[in-house]
């Protein structure tokens, strides 16, 4: 006759009940989820306390990032381990089951605790993020509605001003204003129109930067305006135009380069954080399964 606990004996005495103690799994998962969220809030508080908007004060961004990764791993180890251990201690004792099968079931219980806890945590955090996004969207919709009303009023006022004043065009878009300016250019600019001349030249410079170059007609006209306003000769005024356009183009290129570098740094940071989040979840799964086997072994040692 086969000995109790042997594979042959197990096959003949297979229970009709499930090998999973779902009550223990649910209890462990809830404990793991609550512990995870609690430690996550504590970590956020520590991160906010260690950072500072003032230059030279508080931890650096790199230090905060490293600390966040370490804390993420610690959270997984503690929460998943605690949940797995509780599931191992609370599960029912399996009789007439081989020790290898007991070890496998405890490991499976720990993995189920981790999987259920991770799913619930993700759902809660997603729901919180959705609520925050919904609130921001409502605020944004209100702001857009207010901005639309303000824009309508501005357009109406601009149209009325254009109809009643010789210097109309205040309600026009900058690109339209540039083309409108070309209709009223004169070969003899008025030296008394200083502010208006500067505004017109600014629109020409902006259009030239957006276009990538300054047309000969624009350059000649701006040179005449500068000559009238400053008293310099035509070649000097044209040199000023070239120098200004080049400096503005360099500034735009530098700003574009910085934006690309910032986007690339954000991409690398997001990729690194995602990778470490994946590693921390693997560590959490291992911690939960190991703690479940320890808890189950301790539970079976009590006769």
Each residue of 197-233: pLDDT tens digit? 778 887 887 887 777 777 888 888 888 888 877 778 8
Task: Return d(Cα 303, Cα 159) in angstroms, integer.
Answer: 91
Q: What is the pLDDT of residues 18-47, one digit of tens each?
A: 788 899 999 999 999 999 989 988 888 887
Instruction: Give the orientation angle of helix 216-230 with respect to helix 234-301, to 10 degrees.
Output: 110
Cα dihedral: 94, 99, 101, 102 (round 10): 50
Phi, psi of 282 (to 5 degrees): -60, -45
Residue 267 pLDDT > 80, yes or no?
A: yes
Distances in Å between the Cα of 42 and the Cα atoms of 37, 54, 70, 106, 145 are: 9, 23, 14, 30, 39
Which candidate, 107, 87, 108, 90, places its Cα nearest to that of 29? 87
What pLDDT is recorded for position 116? 93
Evaluate whether 113 touches 85 at the Cβ level (below 8 Å): no
Q: Would you call 158 helix, strand, or coil by DSSP?
A: helix
- Tell me the whole-structure pTM to 2 decimals: 0.60
pLDDT band at 151 (very low <50, low <70, confident <90, very high): very low
46 contacts 54 by C-beta, under 8 angstroms: no
Is 153 a residue whose pLDDT tops 70? no
Closest to 85 in 3D by CA, of 28, 163, 144: 28
Whole-number Å distance between alpha carbons of 137 and 39? 29
The rounded distance, in Å, linking the Cα atoms of 36 and 121 is 8
């Amino acid at each position: 006759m086969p000995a109790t606990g042997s594979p042959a004996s197990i096959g003949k005495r297979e229970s009709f009940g499930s090998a999973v103690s779902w009550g223990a799994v649910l209890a462990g998962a809830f404990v793991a989820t609550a512990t995870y969220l609690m430690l996550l809030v504590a970590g956020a508080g520590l991160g906010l306390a260690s950072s500072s908007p003032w230059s030279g004060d508080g931890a650096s961004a790199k230090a905060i990032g490293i600390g966040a990764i370490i804390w993420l791993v610690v959270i997984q180890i503690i929460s998943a381990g605690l949940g797995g251990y509780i599931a191992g201690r609370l599960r029912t004792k399996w009789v007439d089951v081989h020790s290898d099968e007991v070890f496998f079931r405890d490991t499976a219980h720990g993995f189920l605790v981790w999987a259920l806890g991770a799913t619930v945590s993700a759902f809660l955090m997603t729901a919180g993020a959705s609520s925050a996004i919904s609130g921001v969207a409502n605020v944004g919709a209100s702001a857009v509605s207010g901005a639309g009303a303000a824009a309508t009023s501005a357009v109406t006022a601009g149209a009325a001003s254009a109809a009643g004043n010789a210097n109309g065009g205040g309600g026009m878009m900058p690109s339209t204003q540039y083309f409108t300016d070309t209709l009223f250019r004169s070969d003899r600019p008025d030296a008394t129109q200083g502010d208006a001349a500067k505004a017109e030249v600014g629109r020409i410079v902006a259009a030239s930067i957006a276009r990538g170059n300054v047309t000969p007609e624009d350059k000649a006209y701006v040179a005449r305006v500068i000559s009238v306003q400053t008293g310099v000769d035509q070649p000097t005024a044209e040199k000023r135009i070239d120098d200004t356009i080049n400096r503005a183009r360099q500034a735009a290129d530098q700003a574009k380069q910085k934006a690309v570098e910032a986007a690339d740094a954000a991409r690398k940071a997001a990729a690194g954080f995602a990778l470490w989040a994946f590693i921390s979840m693997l560590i959490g799964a291992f911690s939960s399964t190991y703690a479940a086997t320890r808890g189950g072994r301790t539970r079976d040692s009590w006769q």
